[in-house]
Amino acid sequence: MSDANWQPEGQWRAGGPEPHGNAHDPGFNPAPHPQAPQYGFQQPLNAGQIPPGSMIPVSPQEHQAEKSMASFSHWGAIFLSWLAGLIGLLAKPAQGGRYQEIHAKESLNFSIIMLIGYAINYMLTFMLIGFLTGLIQFGFDIYMRIKASGAAERGEMPTYWLPFRVLN
């Protein structure tokens, strides 16, 4: 162990001095400070570009209104099916509203996929298995809606499992 790599704060250097190191050290090179995060979107985002569960920046002015409408797109679909996602998509403000739009599209995509599943389960009721698979799908539908609504309230992307997308 060499004392040349020991920092006064009690931490070892890995490949060079720490940015908060000693200014009298010949190898000291202060790193530029990172910029503070900016609110709003810098470029258009699509739902497929943002990993599920990641945070989406929302400006403080639009924060609560967009989060409420994005959350409605999910929990409202429990009672209104695909209409809640469509209402969330059509109620998007003229400027901004990208956060709300992403959540409404995800809710609408999931609603359409669930409708396809319910139609298949209806056909399977004639073979007496559709009732059981329909109950399982209904429970899964409610669970995913509540989970996505909570993500909307926290400012995250919805985490629906979608085998394909109807809307982009």
Segment 23-76, tens digit of pLDDT: 555 555 555 445 544 444 444 555 556 555 566 555 565 577 888 888 999 999
Number of H helices, E strands in the chain: 4, 0
Rounded CA-CA distance 90/104 in Å is: 9
Q: What are the structure tokens assigned to 31, written together?
A: 């790193």
Segment 105-161, tens digit of pLDDT: 999 999 999 999 999 999 999 988 999 999 999 999 999 999 999 998 888 888 787
- The whole-number pLDDT of residue 39 equals 46
Rounded CA-CA distance 75/104 in Å is: 11
Rounded CA-CA distance 92/100 in Å is: 7
- The whole-number pLDDT of residue 61 equals 57
Rounded CA-CA distance 162/160 in Å is: 6
